[in-house]
Chain A
Amino acid sequence: MSSIIQVENLTKRYGGKRGIDQVSFEVGEGEVFGFLGPNGAGKTTTIRLIMALLRADSGSARIAGLDCWEKTIEIKRLIGYVPGEPSLDRNLTGGQILEYFANLRGGVDRAYLKKLIERMDLDTSRKFRQYSTGNKRKVVLIQAFMHRPRVLILDEPTSGLDPLNQQEFDGMVKEARDEGRTVFLSSHVLSEVEKTCTRVGIIREGRLVKLGGIHELMDIKRYEITIAFARPVPADAFAKLEGVVEVEPLSNGSAVRIAIQGAADAVIKEAAQYPVVSLTSYEPSLEDIFLRYYERDDTAPIPFARV
């Protein structure tokens, strides 16, 4: 698989403040690449540098072999873009906005555009300011997909979408992948990336800290289960199980909160020894994961390499 996005030692500072520092990675053509990181990590800065909305202090970003800053027009013919905080003319209807961007891009297949509108169930007659957050997001997504771009650059594209439309979006990303198109998807939601991406890069405090296949996320993935029992149970019984990272007894021992990394099989089997009243599981935020996973880490940048 040849690389379509090549980012090498990309650095950006905002005056004295941190932006990103020496970020390097490559994305292969036809790949769905997840770009993960907590809020303020540098995801949007990286994307805006690729989009030539910002000018890099040093380093380079290339798409299809073309420098993102020098050949920005040629590159934008290949790209569909969803910004992190999309803003569009409040007084235009959804239909007017899509028609305007179709004209600016040129060569947009109107039949396909209408299919996308129907698929996302968008009412194009309403003004942008009258749309709900989710509908505003739909307009932005449709304008990114409408010209069947070779590369989709999506900055937290699903925030504000309801589960049905998120599902629809997942389908659109999979279709793009099946057609050999590349998707660069930034997110701070681990499960979203897991669903759609084949490879991920993780950025933290402006530096790329991990780059690898989606399976490698399991190394850092951690979730918590709270189990309530009909009577007090010994918390120690869970502490030594495979995958258990932390156990915290609650309610005088009648409940335990267990942090797990990897499979939960051993924990469930052990819990089945006791009368279980309820079991709840939740995925902590990426910030929580990072805080725990990297709290003792040096976070040195990974050298430029394809994984």
Chain B
Amino acid sequence: MFRSIYLKSLRDYRVPILGWGLGLGALMAVIFAAVPSVFATPAAKAAVVSIGASYAWIAEPIKIDTPGGYATWKYGITILVVVIWPLLAGTGMLRGEEDRGSMDVLLSLPRGRLRVALEKLAAMWTALLAMGLVIGLLTFAGAAKVSSDLSLGASVAFGLNLALICAVFLSIALLVSQFTQERRTASGVTAGILLVAIVVDMVHRVVPNTVWLSQLSPVYYYNLSKPLVPGYGANLGAMLFLLALSGLFGAAAVWLFARRDVGGVSLHLPERSSQPARALPRADWSLRSVYTRSLGMIATSTLWWTLAIAGFAAWFVIIAEQTEAQLKSLLQSSAALGDFLKLGGSDSATNASILSAFFIFMPVLLMAFAVTQANRWSADEEDGLLEIVLSTPQPRLRLLLGRFAAIGTATIFISVLTLIATTVASAATGLSLDYGNLAAASLSIIPFGLLVAAIGYLFAGWLRAAVDTGLLSFLLVIWVFISFIGPGLSLPDATQKLSPFYYYGSPLLHGVQVADLLVIVAVGAVALALASARFARKDISA
């Protein structure tokens, strides 16, 4: 495996290929496994059809009363998760190596830059193809148990379609990384592009006559193929378009890489010519303590996440108003729908109950933010950034708690901005809400973010950054699985209580459930205490 850059790169991707392929494939298999219980009675089936129409903004419900249609619809939103690894791999492929300084060594070999980049890109595409194949095979295995209609070809086409959208965002990430000085920035920008692409694709399902807008998003072309839906199949044109898009962005990135400075960027902004300075920035607030410095470090990413989370929340309010009208008519025809809506932890009588079903995503988003921050903590130690800080008379505990307090401040900022955004959106759309409960729903997500950060800090006491982040993300996916798919699988109550989302409840309807929230706070506090105790005694990575 060390005979070429292509094979060495492929070797590096073997764990993600298996991990993400098996994980995401297993998710699909589980969705199929839930089909018999979801379609247990004709009434339940009718309820699924009805609710599918209401959630069309997330994923288009086509033949949702068939196993393939249901699985395709249910899997729809996971695009956000599926694309994360290719996105990170895309920014790490060239820029990551430049950050680490290993690109200099690689380019000292008698191989052209173009070839180095192309071999790495080819390895990445091969990895995605393998990942798609694993997902396709597990989808087929899952589908075979509940339906004999689905062919192996259709399952593989499903996996291939996933691999193609992954390849597009991988290439976009690679292209963006040609313009940023650091991998981290490229990842953030590409994540923003991904979110915008998902929202732009959603628009035509919510606002009439806006297909032209959605056609600007690659996700729209991904959704044109639904190989698992009987009679719908794969859209070869759309798949070829995704392939071309991926090739185009990838080629542009490689072309730029071959022409720029290693460690530099493709587009240089004019720099102010200045004389060498000897001054010290005495007035810079962010340099006064570990806490303020930590706050300064996460300020930019917090702003982006605030924009995304508060934006999503406001978007939820806007679509809740439209959903309300549809549900009113549906409720009259389906009693089972009321039960189904309990996914969000509410009855279905008010505006708040509809919004409550959407608001369950808010702690998920804040927890995803916390995962990135926990990653930064463990990465900083791994990169040796704590070494000199710990040579100053600052206790280790203050360093850890200062960083944690900064995350706490960021989560409060995000929550408050989310509250403001939803309040403004509700006032603008005329959607009547109990503002006390809205405040409870927005602000009670804070402990969930802090819980994930505390667990991430605890893991960092033993694990390297990549493993810490992987484990934390996996935990988040498991919790999402328990709370969002678990009810369909009739998981026991004790299992559902293992997911923090269980304790979020329905604050939009019932206000803050103090006892439930205290469970999260207590678990978070224990995790932070253990993390502190470990950090106070551990060897600091060199």
Binding site for B on A (CB under 8 A): 44, 48, 51-55, 73-74, 76-77, 79-81, 83, 85-91, 93, 95-96, 98-106, 110, 113-114, 117-118, 122-125, 129, 140, 143
Contacts and interface: CB of A to CB of B under 8 A. Distances in A.
Nearest to B392: A104
Contacts of A81: 388, 391
Interface stretch (B125-133, B223-231, B235-243, B272-280): B272-280
B391 A95 contact: no
17 contacts: A44-B542, A48-B542, A53-B539, A74-B393, A76-B391, A76-B394, A79-B391, A80-B391, A83-B388, A87-B385, A87-B387, A89-B297, A96-B287, A104-B290, A124-B278, A125-B279, A129-B181
Interface of B: 181-182, 274, 276-282, 284, 287-290, 293, 297, 383-385, 387-395, 537-540, 542
A76 B389 CA distance: 11
Interface centre among B388, B394, B539 (most CB of A within 10 A): B388
B387 A83 contact: yes
Contacts of B288: 103
Nearest to B272: A125
Contact of A99 (B284, B538, B539): B284
By Cβ-Cβ distance, the 10 closest A-B pairs, closest first, are A87-B384, A123-B276, A81-B391, A125-B277, A100-B287, A104-B392, A53-B540, A76-B393, A54-B539, A77-B393
A106 B392 CA distance: 9
A96 B278 contact: no
Contacts of A86: 384, 387-388
A206 B334 CA distance: 76
Nearest to B278: A117
A99 to B, nearest CB: 5
A105 B297 CA distance: 20
Given A104-B290, A124-B277, A88 B393 contact: no
A140 B280 contact: no
B392 A101 contact: yes
A34 to B, nearest CB: 20
Nearest to B396: A72
B392 A85 contact: no
B277 A95 contact: yes
A148 to B, nearest CB: 15
B388 A143 contact: yes
Nearest to B538: A55
A88 B539 contact: no
B232 to A, nearest CB: 48
A103 B540 contact: no
B533 to A, nearest CB: 13
Contacts of A55: 537-539
Given A103-B289, A125-B276, 15 more contacts: A53-B540, A74-B393, A76-B391, A76-B393, A81-B388, A86-B384, A87-B384, A88-B385, A95-B279, A99-B284, A99-B287, A101-B392, A102-B280, A114-B280, A125-B279
Contacts of B394: 73, 76, 104
A124 B280 contact: yes
Nearest to B389: A104
Contacts of A77: 393
A62 B231 CA distance: 78
A52 B387 CA distance: 10
Contact of A89 (B385, B390, B395, B538): B385
Contacts of A73: 393-395
Contacts of A117: 278, 280
Contact of B293 (A85, A93, A98, A100): A100
Contact of A83 (B280, B384, B538, B539): B384
B391 A51 contact: yes
B539 A105 contact: no
Contacts of A88: 385, 388
A115 B276 CA distance: 15
B540 A54 contact: yes
Given A104-B290, A125-B274, A140-B388, A110 B542 contact: no
A122 B540 CA distance: 29
Nearest to A122: B278
Q: Which of A44, A86, A87 has the most CB of B within 10 A?
A: A87
A99 B276 contact: no
Given A88-B385, A125-B276, A105 B281 contact: no
Given A89-B297, A90-B182, A99 B281 contact: yes
B278 A118 contact: yes
B392 A114 contact: no
Contacts of B181: 129
Contact of A87 (B276, B280, B284, B383): B383
A124 B385 CA distance: 19
Nearest to B287: A100
A48 B280 CA distance: 29
A143 B279 CA distance: 15
Nearest to B537: A55
A125 B181 CA distance: 18
A118 B390 CA distance: 26
A96 B284 CA distance: 8
A101 B539 contact: no
Contacts of B387: 53, 83, 86-87
A58 B289 CA distance: 34
B542 A85 contact: yes
Contacts of B537: 55
A172 B283 CA distance: 29
Contact of B390 (A53, A74, A125): A53
Nearest to A77: B393
Contacts of B395: 73
Contact of A105 (B182, B274, B392): B392
A99 B280 contact: yes
Nearest to A12: B539
A119 B539 CA distance: 35
A42 to B, nearest CB: 13
A149 to B, nearest CB: 10
Contacts of B542: 44, 48, 85
A118 B389 CA distance: 24
A133 to B, nearest CB: 11
A85 B101 CA distance: 14
B180 to A, nearest CB: 12
B384 A99 contact: no
Contacts of A95: 277, 279-281
Nearest to A129: B181
B363 to A, nearest CB: 30
A88 B384 CA distance: 8
Nearest to B399: A104
Contacts of B289: 103-104
Nearest to A73: B393
A73 B389 CA distance: 12
Residue picked from A51, A81, A95, A100, most chain B C-beta under 10 Å = A100
Contacts of A44: 542
Contacts of A99: 280-282, 284, 287
Nearest to A83: B387
Nearest to B297: A89
B502 to A, nearest CB: 39
Contacts of B290: 104
Nearest to A75: B393
B64 to A, nearest CB: 48
